[in-house]
Structures are given as structure tokens and as C-alpha cells.
Amino acid sequence: MSLDDLAPTSPLRVVADDPRPRDGGVALWLGSSGPLRSIRWLDGACATAAKFGSAIAIAAGDAPWLDLAADRAARAQIACVGVPTDLKLDYLGWAQVVAAVARQLGSRTILVDEASRPERFPEVAAIAELLDAAQLTHVVALAPDGPIIHASRIAGADLQTCRIRGSAVVGLRIAGPPIDEYPTPTPSASMKRLDLPSLGLDPVVLGHRALPPRTSQPARKTVEKVVDYLAAHVRPLSKEG
Amino acid sequence: MGAVLVHIDLDGERPHPSSLSALAAGRAIASSWGATLYAALVVHDAAADRAAPDSTAQVMSTQQVPGLDKIQNVLARAGADKVIVAVTDAPIAPLWAAVGVPWQGVLDHLRPRLVLFGADAPSATELGPRTGARIGARLLQRARATGGDQVELRDRDGGYVRASDGGAAVALIGSGRAELVGDEDIDLVVLVYPGGADNRIEIAGSSPSELAHTLAPIVALGDDAANDAETVSAAKRLAKQLGAHVVGGPSAVRAGAVVPAAVVDRHTPLAPELCIAVGSIALDLAGTTNLVRIGPSSGKGVEGALAGSPSANLTELSRGLEGDSR
């Protein structure tokens, strides 16, 4: 199956009757695969993006995930674009995809759901680097205020209040309401699909950022294995104090 | 062989313990790979713009930046071959927007092959991934140095960095103990990077955060665990080793297992980097990055699960971690 087969719809184009502004729009990167344990954080990110009025969610990956992303975005009343691909990339690879979509959308503010999956967190910095944007991670509250965005972020034991002006990539850790079950999403007709070549990305070149295939680790069930796992979290102490 | 660079965060006027752990890992790697080990820190000097008004980087004498002698000695004894101090006129904060300019200057100055951060150092999560993106590097999180003659870095997801690898890498080093191995006579270079902070991000204020927002590890006690004195004692011991908060529901307060400020409602969305869930938990832990369950129900989607007596398992974990850190 070629990438074109996976992207049957035409790339997103700027059209005259498109009510969304081309400059200064907000994009929300939902990631390349579904949430690890709960869609609560995905819903929270969508609701936060909806505060901006003209936000567009971006997702990449396989069809079931794109359908879920489009469904949750639609429930928050924001549009969604999908980049169908079976590539499994590292943080720099996905950042290239997001940056390309953001350029095509004209988005200067990129929100990233950094809580749903741990591997998404470093993508905040990578996207910011590619777009030459400011970055702000660990944001737990966000409020647009004209050209300024007010953000509260976690910095150690403190809650920092920040003001963001201009181009920025913001990592969100904002939960939606509790949700136990949700309906299986149906394929989205409204989601715009962008294939990699239409974004100026060569899948073969991008493939150099592919992660090596790894099997998922089963839960460690002995004290020795859990100790080995937790050892990387032990609070470091120096001999000098 | 390219340089191995370790970012040093300061805790007051001393290097942060997590940064010193990263420096210890860097020492082992640099010795094994035949590389030079640089320790670099960013410090504030309001006069930096006057010291170098027309340049992007200028070498200064150490006398111009007070307080560096003690830091230099600590870093030297912790194994650094050379110390780089980047001086900025912007106030220091653990944000890329605050220290990104001088840190980029250090990266451009050294062009390191491997950059290490202490995973628990304040700047690590903001600077580490951006550093990786800037130099096109692979990124390892919570990595540890392993091996004998040929030291390598490994993380828990199967990622590794070896001497024979091509390309650059950035690693956030989890844990480890700083050893005092070096002498006190090492080179120190002070570079000045005027230009201030990225004014697109402005820090307007700061206040203590709520426990519900914490990213630090937590040990969550179920009601059954909170009512068992041995389990509570063992959980607190483990929490101390991990630098974790002990949290629970209202009944855990009534049992004296947690302080009132550590009560978490069952619908409060918790998203710590690590959660040790002890007993039958009625908390929303779906945002947890790494989840280990201890108690009767192991559950799915967890990194670790120990069935059986919670107090016995917690005690064994503490003993194991004490041995591991020696």
C-alpha cells in the first residue's frame, strides 16, 4: 500500500471561503498514536484549543487513531487534519511532520498534548526548534487574551505564571472531565487528510528518523526487576550533601 | 572522539545533586571512550552586556564572576576535565526562553557528541529535548551508564548509546551517586553571551503548586494500605528514597497515613512521572507516565506489578534500591 492510497483526499488548501484565518491560527498536535491510558487528557487539550476559536487539531498515524482524534476534536468543536502514515518516528521525525503542517496552516501557536503519551513530551522542543519558536512545557492552565496567552506551568514544586507573545509551542497537561467509556469513532468524513509529499516531506528521507521496532515490555513482576526499573528514579544524593 | 558535555544546574550556590550524578555518568563514559568531559553551567551577571557589548561570545577571567571558585572545585572533584561558564545578562530560570541563548552558545562552542543532563535537575526537561533537536541527536530519558571497560548508556525502553555509534545523543541521567574522583586543578573558561532572554516568554509570577499538578513521583495509598501501619511505614521509606509525595483519600488522613494537604479526590487527574500505587486505589492515575502497582490487583498497562503483601514488597523494594545506589 502506498502513502497515496492512505491519503485519498486532497491536501488542505487555502480557499477563498475558508473562514479560518491563515495567520496567527492555533494548531493542536494530538500525536501519532492514541493515549496510553485515558482520553481524558486528549479531551482537555481539545477543550483548551477550542478557547482560541480558530484552532485546528493535527494527528498522524494509522486510521483508527486518526478517526478517534477527529471524533474527539469534533466534540470540542474544532477542526482536524490527519496525516495518514504507517511510519513510527522518533521525536525529531514527528516534529518535522508537525512543523510542515503548521507552516501549511499558517499556525504560529502550536499546542501539544504532552500528557497522553510520555514520548510526546520531547516533541514540544523539537517542533519549537524547527519553527524557531519559543517553547513552554508542563502547562496546566492556558487562557488566550488578545495577542497574549496567559499560561500556568509546573516548575518543580512551583506554579509559574507566564505570558506568551508571538510564535510559541506549548506543551499541555490539562485534563478533560472524567470519562470511563466512549463510543467507538466512525471514520471521519470531515477530517482533512494531508499526505507527506503534499507537505514537502519525502517518506523515504523521513524514514531515517524511524524508531527501531521494539516489543512492548510486559509488567515486571519480581522485586528485582521492579528495583531495576525504579533505580532510575531514586533521588540522587551527593557525598557533599 | 567528540566532547562529552554535562549541563550543570545550580541548587543555590552548589551544583544540583542530579547534575552531579550526570557528571559521574559522564566521567565513566568519557574515560571509557577517550573523550574530554566538559561541565557547563549558565550564570547570571547583569553586567554581562557591558563586558562584551559587541560580541556574541567573549572569554572573561574568573575574577569577574564571583562564587565560581567553589563551584569549579566541586565540579573538578566530581570528575570534570574542563568547566565552561556561560554568563548571561538575563535572569536565570529553568526555561529554554531564559537560558537558551547562552546554552546554544556553549553547544556551538564545543559541538559535543554526547550531552548529559541530570534527569531531576530543574532545567533538564526544558533544555534536554531542545538540545537534542538543535544538534539532531537521539534522546534517551532516565538513562544509566552501564558496562565495564566499554561503558554505554541505556534507557528502559531499549535505547542505548555506545562509543561505536555515529551521530550525537542527548541523555537525561536518572539516579546514580556522584563520586569524588578528580583533582581541583582544571581549566575554567568563562564565555559571555549578551542578548538577554527570549522575550516571547515572560515569567509573571510564581507560587507553590497544588499537589494535584505535581510531576514529581507519588506513592498513592489505597484505603486498605492506609490502615496498615507497617505498609504505611514502608511506603514512606520508599517515598523518601524516590523523593515522592505520599497521597491518599480522606480515610488515609483519618488513619494518619497522609497529611491533610495530601488528600486527593478520586476524580482529580494526577499526572506524575512515576506513581507507586499501593493497595486498592480509587484515584485517577491515567495520566501517570510510569505506574507500578503493589497489592492484590495488578491490573493492565502498568510497568510493574507486585502481588502479595504490600508491606513486604515495599520493604524489599527499599532494600533493593539502597543496595543499588551504593
Angle at B125 between CA A137 and CA B114, to 5 degrees: 140
pLDDT tens per residue, range B13-59: 899 999 999 999 999 999 999 999 999 999 998 776 555 544 444 45
For residue B107, how many other CB atoms are within 10 A of its CB? 18
Mean pLDDT along residues B129-139 = 96
Distances (CA, A) of B278 to B215, B228, B262, B291: 18, 11, 15, 11
Percent of chain B whose predicted confidence (pLDDT) is above 90: 60
Give B240 to chain A, closest Cα distance, Å. Answer: 8
pLDDT band for B123, please (50, 70, 90 cuts). Answer: very high
Q: Are B8 and B41 within 8 A, CB to CB?
A: yes
**Contact B47/A at CB under 8 A:** no
Q: Which residues between 150 and 179 in chain B have a beta carbon less than 8 angstroms from any beta carbon of chain A? A: 155-158, 174-179
Is the pLDDT confidence value at A202 over 80?
yes
- To the nearest whole number, what is the mean pLDDT of chain B? 88
Helix axes B310-325, B229-242, angle to 10 degrees: 30
Question: Best of B14, B74, B96, B285 to disrupt the A interface by mutation (most A CBs within 10 Å)?
Answer: B96
Question: Residue B91 is placed in which grid cell?
Answer: 535572569
> Could you tell me the maximum CA-CA distance found in chain B, to the nearest angstrom?
67
Identity of the residue numbered A14: V
Question: Residue B171 is placed in which grid cell?
Answer: 541523555
Instruction: Count how many domains chain A has.
Output: 1
Domain boundaries, chain B: 4-193, 211-325
pLDDT band for A212, please (50, 70, 90 cuts). Answer: confident
Which residue has 509488567 as its cell numbers? A219
Question: Best of A235, A237, A239, A240 to disrupt the B interface by mutation (most B CBs within 10 Å)?
Answer: A235
Report which secondary-structure segment, H or E, holds A25: strand A25-31
**Helix and strand totals (H; E) in chain B:** 9, 18
Q: Which residues of B touch A122 (CB under 8 A)?
A: 128-129, 132-133, 139, 141
Q: Which residues between 70 and 89 in chain A have a beta carbon less than 8 angstroms from any beta carbon of chain B? A: none
Question: Residue A217 is placed in which grid cell?
Answer: 515490555
pLDDT tens per residue, range A158-197: 999 999 999 999 999 999 998 878 888 888 888 999 999 9
Distances (CA, A) of A137 to A52, A77, A185, B1, B74: 19, 25, 30, 33, 31
- Per-residue confidence (pLDDT) for residue A4, from 0 to 100: 38
Establish if A236 belongs to a structural domain: no
Contact A161 B204 (CB under 8 A): yes
- Three-state DSSP state, B33: helix
Report the C-alpha gap between A49 and A111 in whole angstroms. Answer: 7
Question: Best of A98, A159, A226, A229 to disrupt the B interface by mutation (most B CBs within 10 Å)?
Answer: A226
Q: Which residues of A touch B216 (CB under 8 A)?
A: 156-157
Q: Are B231 and A158 within 8 A, CB to CB?
A: no
Contact A161 B206 (CB under 8 A): yes
Residue of B nearest to A223 (CA): B317
Is the pLDDT confidence value at B1 over 90?
no
Establish if A94 belongs to a structural domain: yes
Mean pLDDT along residues B152-178 = 84
Is the pLDDT confidence value at A214 over 90?
no
Residue of A nearest to B145 (CA): A232
Q: Which residues of A touch B104 (CB under 8 A)?
A: none
- To the nearest whole number, what is the mean pLDDT of chain A? 88
Pick the CATH number of B211-325 from 3.40.50.720, 3.10.129.10, 3.40.50.1220, 3.40.50.300: 3.40.50.1220
pLDDT band for B151, please (50, 70, 90 cuts). Answer: confident
**Contact A134/B at CB under 8 A:** yes
Is the pLDDT confidence value at B140 over 80?
yes
- The 3 state secondary structure assigned to B226-244 is HCCHHHHHHHHHHHHHHCC
Question: Best of B116, B173, B209 to disrupt the A interface by mutation (most A CBs within 10 Å)?
Answer: B209
Establish if A237 belongs to a structural domain: no
Domain that holds residue A32: 3-11+21-212
Establish if A217 belongs to a structural domain: no
Question: Residue B230 is placed in which grid cell?
Answer: 507497617
Contact A175 B274 (CB under 8 A): no
Contact B320 A223 (CB under 8 A): yes
- Residue of B96, B137, B93, B121 whose CA lies nearest to B25: B121
Angle at B180 between CA B178 and CA B185, to 5 degrees: 130
Asked if B4-193 and B211-325 have one fold, the answer is yes
pLDDT tens per residue, range B299-319: 677 899 999 999 999 999 999
**Contact A156/B at CB under 8 A:** yes
Contact B96 A138 (CB under 8 A): no
pLDDT band for B163, please (50, 70, 90 cuts). Answer: confident
Establish if A238 belongs to a structural domain: no
- Per-residue confidence (pLDDT) for residue B250, from 0 to 100: 87
Residue of B nearest to A222 (CA): B306
Question: Best of B175, B278, B284, B326 to disrupt the A interface by mutation (most A CBs within 10 Å)?
Answer: B175
Mean pLDDT along residues A127-145 = 97
- Residue of A83, A155, A170, A58 whose CA lies nearest to A124: A170
How high is the ipTM of this complex?
0.91
Of A26-35, A60-69, A136-145, B64-73, the one with minimum mean pLDDT is B64-73
Residue B15, phi then psi, degrees to nearest 5: -60, 140
CATH for A28 = 3.40.50.620
Q: Give the torsion through C-alpha atoms of A68, A69, A73, A74, to 10 deg.
A: -40
pLDDT band for B66, please (50, 70, 90 cuts). Answer: low
Is the pLDDT confidence value at B324 over 90?
no
Identity of the residue numbered B147: G
Q: Are B317 and B238 within 8 A, CB to CB?
A: yes
Sheet holding A107-113, edge to edge: A192-193, A79-84, A56-61, A25-31, A107-113, A168-172, A134-145, A148-155, A158-165, B201-208
**Contact B228/A at CB under 8 A:** no
Contact B304 A95 (CB under 8 A): no
Contact A160 B96 (CB under 8 A): no
DSSP letter for B319, please.
H
Facing residue for B136 by CB, picked from A92, A118, A226: A92
Of A199-213, B51-65, B104-118, the one with minimum mean pLDDT is B51-65
Residue pairs spanning A and B at CB distance below 8 A = 253
Mean pLDDT along residues B95-114 = 95
For residue B69, how many other CB atoms are within 10 A of its CB? 13
The domain defined by B4-193 folds into: Rossmann fold (3.40.50)
Establish if A52 belongs to a structural domain: yes
pLDDT tens per residue, range A23-77: 558 999 999 999 988 899 999 999 999 999 989 999 999 999 999 999 999 999 9
pLDDT band for B325, please (50, 70, 90 cuts). Answer: low
> Which residues are bridge partners to B201 per DSSP?
A164
Is the pLDDT confidence value at A20 over 70?
no
Q: What is the pTM of this model?
A: 0.90
- Three-state DSSP state, A43: helix
Give A211 to chain B, closest Cα distance, Å. Answer: 10
pLDDT band for B181, please (50, 70, 90 cuts). Answer: confident
Percent of chain B whose predicted confidence (pLDDT) is above 70: 90
